[in-house]
Structure 1
């Protein structure tokens, strides 16, 4: 690319030299007059007609050359190619060659033929004058120089040599350096001009490029001299400060340009002094880079490049977008996007800064709050309204920040509060009561009134050696205790909570291991016909016998399993053992297994059940699956699809604890049910409360109208049993009156014995075998 540019440049210079040959016609005309008069003088002196013809020939050559020049003038030189330039150069050289050759022949004729001193002197003078014209006018073409010298000088040298005079021959030889020097001078002039033109052209191009680059760069630029006055200001600099192009900034101080910017509204007046202070530091070399604020929205970043005593170059750019982006990134990095409260990482930094400034023996506290039953809000009103509630709570919390409380949202519905200076527990109690009272109350969310309460856990320690992570753990333990005791309140951390937490963590590890090794046990609670004479099946209930603690209540370890996310593994263990045990039961006895909310949200449960049935070759009709309303809350559509598929395989589907939820009646129509298990709350105080019996009969009637079997749970007394039988309120009964949960061996013995005994005797034996101990 560079080579092509150089070639084009050389062609342009060559054309300019050729043009110069055609332009100087006055000297050409003067030369023609001088030559013709010279030939006429020689003719008049020696009366030799040769010179008359030579003068006429020189006139004709000049006339033809002049016509050729007029033709050249009419051409468009901008379209010339190198071949066009060479063509017209050769035409010019041809004319010059003919004219020079005529002059050379004149000189040779004078030396050889005429041998007249006047003719010789005049002819030699003309040749020498021609040499001067070569240097002064005809240097533009190297070919032209060579041709003129050869055409004019060779005949003269030949004439001197032909005189057969040693002195004349010596003169001919001595003329050779003159001619060579003339040629060198002409070429030197041409080369000098070429270099000058080249340098000027390049300088012009460089200046043009510099000007283009300077005025099209995205940065503003001020070039200052050693006295700090402006030498150059590019277009962008003027645009930044809204300075008109007709205002000359050269020689003015940089402060004058800033003053124009302030006058044009580009610089806020309150920032003017500060900007000039920054610029002075840049010019003096105290700073190399400086961020300058023009007004409330605009920022410029200046950088200085010093040129020694020659001054400094100030380059600046608009960094407003970058500053705003950095602010947004910092906002995103430090603040929660939903509530605009400090996030976890920024909260820790703020707390660390405050702790570093704390006084010795100063107390600090950290509180963890979350919204009671927030999951219910998300489930019933949707996550969008849940987010609105979180924002509303954050707004109330933000009003507390004036009390030197650092507030953060760590995620979900968890809010963390840091109190950097607390005198004692009494002051902390007053503050926390105020916080809870501020947050508790009614919130308007999407046109609905929601009463919200919160639970909190607080830990307070001296500032010496505090570890925020440890303090947070203690506050979490206190929060857990507050929720365990009763929601809608807060609890201060105590050391006993740490011990309870450690025990709880250890129990989690041991529970995980028990589930992994499939060492959980099963008990079975039988389901009888209302007469108590036959066992129809049993509900499988998981049991955990801890090596050190002994039997652990399901009310303790099942919530732990749900919290740990292993409830699905526990269900799988129960299904495996229950199906394996049921195979050995007599007749068509069924086994019933409870499914959790986790099970009903994952289609994996289908393959778990079918694999167990295939492995033990148990008929699907002998497996009953129990679900509760809480198990349907996560995703009713997915749960219904799973249950429909299991029902289609032949399994029985029962809804457990019926009547305790708000939506139980709607589930009777939506879900593919076979049975309804009526909760024990309908049976409790049945003999004492007539309304309970009416309610029970109504529920049973509704279920049977829908074609569902009825199982009554929690039957414990003879009076309850009699009323249920007399009112025909049960197809099956499950309760302590007939049988408590028992190991598989005891259940198998009972079921086998009842299946063989007679009706009357079986009822009596059953009563004896299964009567619970009241001790």
Structure 2
């Protein structure tokens, strides 16, 4: 990299070269003293007045150069342009050339005019010494080198040739190579320095860029030598590890630095060795990465690579946010969002993990399922938010009472528990029942007190026989048993339950086949006018005669159909058959069909009813549809819309089993109803108990005020019928007092027989 002309040299480098012309001022002072003293010595020996003048001239030139240097020092060099630097170069070179010109004159005069050996030797020696110093002082300017060597050597060459001395002439010619050599030396020094300045500048730029990149990277970086001494460390590494300033840590042992951090910052005392040990494993390829958790919720992920010289590069980053996000996602996957309890999958993992950790431990364990009784009524009355708060309160109490048991949320309003090893079955049974008793009672949610009962089913077994799915089924069977007996009860699994479960599954399969093959039949229970003079309507009741078990009670197979999701198929069959049968009866007799909650979950029931009426030709006014309060628990607004649509078509809507629900009275004013069917439970003991009779009369009067027709179910005795007629407590009567459920063809026969007057039955017969 040769600066052949100043125009190629960057301005700042050019300025530094020119500034060097004003440097080393002490050597100038020494030089002027030597020059003046030499001239005075020659003047004293040769009595030449010229050398006195030259001595004075050296002093004057020195003074002038000092004045120039002083002015140059005061110049604002940052504002100097390239032309301004050239201007100052010429001024500084002119001052230096003045001194060398005086030296050349003194030497030439001594050679040609004086002919004195001392004068010649003194002048030439001082001049040559000055020429040597020219390289060291004026390398920065080719102009200065050329001008000073020319002004020194030319007078000596001319005067040597003028002396007409052959040997002097030869020596004088040798000054030309000396001049060229001096010039080449100065150029070499200048080029060398120029290359080094440029290289240093590039190195500085690269170093600055590296430093900027190193200290602005989001990762911490530590580079160590084979002895584990820190060679490079960035600010991010110091911030993450809280180990001080990077400049103070270079050449320090990394293990000592980490131990210092453990002693005076947030690290645990075991973590420095862990970092070093795992760093070695990562660098050697035994681990791909390592994640270390520090106090203050800091998580750092480390990676390392081995350097060719045996050292290592350690890179790490703060992954606390990622770790927290992963933990949150993992928590969402493992735990129920509402109660914070483990979900079914994670509960299974916790149970299996417990069993794996205690493979040799002996003793019984228990698996339990809890179900909140009638929890849907809470959502219906108070809303789902209050229901959620109550559910959380129940979950908290279960957790508090669980002690060592593992608790999870199964689904909806059900919880599951696993009780670890106990010393014997009796102790474990007692612990399960203690917990069940402890969680019953009052709960507070949204400033409301709820009396809550939970039904429970559990299974006791030896731990080596535990299988999650199998024993979950057994606990469910025990839960079903407890719920069928009493609300809030608890039952332990018994082997007989397996048989009943298998039998029930077979019964479900047979029911599905019967529904698919239309193997059900229909009986009709007539509804008479209160005086028994005429049949107004007949309720269609599904019947199933099993080929092996005989008649299956409706409450059994209807419940099974609802569990299996085929109740709508039964409803469709009954609607089609009932409408067709009704067309064979006298025109004043209507038919009534029950709808389930599943039937009213979507608008498909509208098309089914239309199809049944269209296929049979039955008028909509002769079709009654009965619903129960359970139909309104889920999506009551949608159910009301469907009922309103059916009623608008001319179909009569009745609410069945009135009085058995949780809030029956609230439905009378909000639903599109025509008929209220009073449940048989209202008639119990009305003959003997005046209060029950008053309750019945009050309910009937309320319904009449709302313009609703009254049907009383389950009237079995003439005494009950007499009371109902005495107080005009019903419009239609349905019950054994007049007739049980009969086949379709019997409805017309009964209707015709009434021409001779009704004959109330004194004893009910089972249909």
Name the TM-score, length of structure 2 as normaliser: 0.72
Q: Secondary structure at the match of 2:618?
A: coil
Q: Distance in 1 between matches of 2:322 and 2:402?
A: 30
Distance in 1, matches of 2:580 and 2:16, equals 108
Per the alignment, in what secondary structure is the counterpart of residue 626 of structure 1?
A: strand
Q: Is the 8 A contact 1:655 1:673 kept in 2?
A: yes
3-state secondary structure, aligned to 1:707: coil
* Partner residue in 2 for 1:267: 266
* Residues 282, 305 of structure 2: 8 Å contact kept: no
Deviation for aligned residue 1:556: 0.6
Does the Cα contact within 8 Å between 1:282 and 1:303 map onto a contact in 2?
A: no
Equivalent in the alignment of 2:394: 393
Q: Distance in 1 between matches of 2:692 and 2:617?
A: 43
Q: Which residue of 1 aligns with 2:207?
A: 207
Distance 1:689 1:476 in 2: 41
What's the offset of the Cα at 1:237?
Answer: 0.7
Tell me the residue number matched to 1:349: 349
- Which structure 2 residues correspond to residues 38-187 of structure 1 after superposition, within 5 A? none
Greater Cα shift, 244-253 or 638-647: 244-253
Distance in structure 1 (CA, Å) of the matches to 2:503 and 2:687: 44
1:219 and 1:237 in contact (8 A); partners too:
no
Contact 2:362 2:421 in 1 (8 A): no
1:618 aligns with 2:618: yes
Q: Which residue of 1 aligns with 2:527?
A: 527
Shift of the 729–408 alpha-carbon distance from structure 1 to 2, 3 Å rule, reads closer
Structure 2 residue aligned with 1:762, among 735, 741, 754? 754
1:434 maps to which residue?
434
2:378 match: 377
Give the secondary-structure state (helix, strand or coil) at the position aligned to 1:711.
strand
Does 513-522 or 474-483 show the bigger shift?
A: 513-522
8 Å Cα contact 1:282/1:304 also seen in 2: no
Note closer, same or farther for the CA distance 1:10–1:619 as it changes in structure 2 (3 Å cut): farther
CA contact (8 A) 2:376 2:633 kept: no
Q: Is the 8 A contact 1:241 1:261 kept in 2?
A: no
Q: Give the SS at the match of 1:408.
A: strand
CA contact (8 A) 2:364 2:423 kept: yes
* CA distance in 1: counterparts of 2:443 and 2:538, whole angstroms: 47
How big is the shift at 1:18? Answer: 11
Quick check: 1:640 aligned with 2:643? no
CA change 1:369–1:10 in 2 (3 A) is farther
Q: CA deviation at 1:208?
A: 0.8
CA contact (8 A) 2:456 2:478 kept: yes
3-state SS of the aligned residue for 1:387?
helix
Q: Could you tell me how far apart the structure 2 residues matched to 1:769 and 1:390 are?
A: 51
Q: What is the CA deviation profile of residues 298-324 of structure 1, one whole-angstrom value per residue up to 9, with x for unaligned ones?
A: 444554444465644444444444444
Deviations 1:137-193 (A, max 9, x none): 999999xx9xxxxxxxxxxxxxxxxxxxxxxxxxxxxxxxx9999999999989866
Q: 1:187 to 1:501 in 2, by over 3 A?
A: farther
SS of structure 2 residue aligned to 1:337: coil
| 1:729 partner SS | coil
> Cα 1:181–1:536, aligned 2, differ >3 Å: closer, same or farther?
farther
Residue aligned with 1:599, SS? coil
| Residue of structure 1 in register with 2:157 after alignment | none
**SS of aligned partner of 1:464:** helix
Distance 1:743 1:639, change over 3 A: same
Check conservation: 1:233, 1:249, Cα contact below 8 A. yes
430-439 or 385-394: which moved more?
385-394
Please state whether the residue corresponding to 1:738 is helix, strand or coil: coil
Q: What's the TM-score, normalizing by structure 1?
A: 0.72
In the alignment, is the contact (CA less than 8 A) between 1:363 and 1:423 conserved in 2?
yes
Q: Note if contact 1:230-1:250 (Cα within 8 Å) is conserved in structure 2.
A: yes
Tell me how many residue pairs correspond in the alignment: 751
Match of 1:276 among 257, 266, 272: 272
Answer whether contact 2:229 2:254 (CA < 8 A) is retained. Answer: yes
Q: 1:635 to 1:194 in 2, by over 3 A?
A: same
Kindly indicate whether the alpha-carbon contact (under 8 Å) linking 1:291 and 1:301 is maintained by their aligned counterparts in 2. Answer: yes
Q: Which residue of 2 aligns with 1:42?
A: none
Contact 1:221 1:237 in 2 (8 A): no
Q: Is the contact between residue 740 and residue 770 of structure 1 (CA under 8 Å) also seen in structure 2?
A: no
Distance across 2 between alignment mates of 1:592 and 1:627 = 11
The 3-state SS of whatever aligns with 2:292 is strand
- Structure 1's 303 and 640: CA in aligned 2 closer, same or farther, altered over 3 A? closer
Change (3 A) 1:388 1:207: same
The separation in 2 between residues aligned to 1:472 and 1:279, in whole angstroms, is 46
Looking at structure 2, the residues matched to 626 and 326 of structure 1 have their Cα atoms a distance apart, in angstroms, of: 53
Q: Which position in structure 2 is the counterpart of 1:582?
A: 582
Deviation at 1:674, TM superposition (A): 1.8
Contact (CA 8 Å) 2:443, 2:449: kept in 1 or not?
Answer: yes
Report Cα offsets for 1:322-347 as digits up to 9, x if no partner.
44444434433433333333332332
The answer as to 2:665 corresponding to 1:657 is no
User: Residue in 2 aligned with 1:568?
Assistant: 568
What is the distance in 2 between the residues matched to 1:762 and 1:485?
Answer: 43
* Distance of aligned partners of 1:187 and 1:307 in 2 relative to their CA distance in 1, 3 Å threshold: same
How far, CA to CA, are the matches of 2:191 and 2:197 in structure 1? 10
The SS at the match of 2:596 is coil
Compute the displacement of 1:698 (Å): 3.9
Matches within 5 A, 1:263-662: 266-267=265-266, 271-272=268-269, 274-281=270-277, 289=290, 291=292, 293-294=294-295, 297-307=297-307, 311-356=311-356, 357-359=358-360, 362-402=363-403, 404-662=404-662
Equivalent-residue separation in structure 1 for 2:621 and 2:310 (angstroms)? 100
User: SS state of the match for residue 618, structure 1?
Assistant: coil
CA RMSD of aligned residues (A): 6.3
Secondary structure at 1:482 match in 2: helix
> CA separation in 2, counterparts of 1:590 and 1:180?
136
Give, in whole Å, the separation in 1 of the partners of 2:553 and 2:141: 115
Q: CA deviation at 1:500?
A: 1.5
In the TM superposition, residue 458 of structure 1 has moved relative to its aligned partner by 1.9
Counterparts of 1:313 and 1:617, CA distance in 2: 90
Contact 1:242–1:261 under 8 Å retained in 2:
no
Contact 2:255 2:273 in 1 (8 A): no
Deviations 1:219-263 (A, max 9, x none): 33444444444333322415742635785755466525643674x
Contact residue 700 and residue 730 of structure 2 kept, 8 A: yes
Cα 1:691/1:425, change in 2 over 3 Å: same
| 1:548 alignment partner, SS class | coil
Deviation at 1:291, TM superposition (A): 2.1
CA distance in 2, matches of 1:515, 1:186: 115
**Contact 1:341 1:409 (8 Å CA) reproduced:** yes
**1:538 Cα shift?**
1.3
CA shift in 2, pair 1:704/1:346, >3 Å: closer
Counterpart Cα distance in 2 of 1:366 and 1:260? 50
Distance verdict in 2 for CA 1:232–1:254, change over 3 Å? farther
Q: Which residue of 2 aligns with 1:233?
A: 233
* Aligned-residue offset at 1:469: 1.6
Structure 2 gap ranges (5+): 1-7, 25-71, 91-131, 146-177, 285-289
* Alpha-carbon distance, 1:609 to partner: 2.2
Q: Secondary structure at the match of 1:281?
A: helix
CA distance in 2 between counterparts of 1:14 and 1:580 reads 115
Contact 2:282/2:304 (<8 A) preserved: no
Q: Deviations over 1:24-71 (max 9, x none)?
A: 9xxxxxxxxxxxxxxxxxxxxxxxxxxxxxxxxxxxxxxxxxxxxxxx
The one-character-per-residue Cα deviations of 1:87-140 (angstroms, maximum 9, x if unpaired) are 99xx9xxxxxxxxxxxxxxxxxxxxxxxxxxxxxxxxxxxxxxxx9xx999999
2:243–2:257: 8 Å Cα contact kept in structure 1? no
8 Å Cα contact 1:739-1:771 kept in structure 2:
no
Secondary structure of the equivalent of 1:429? helix
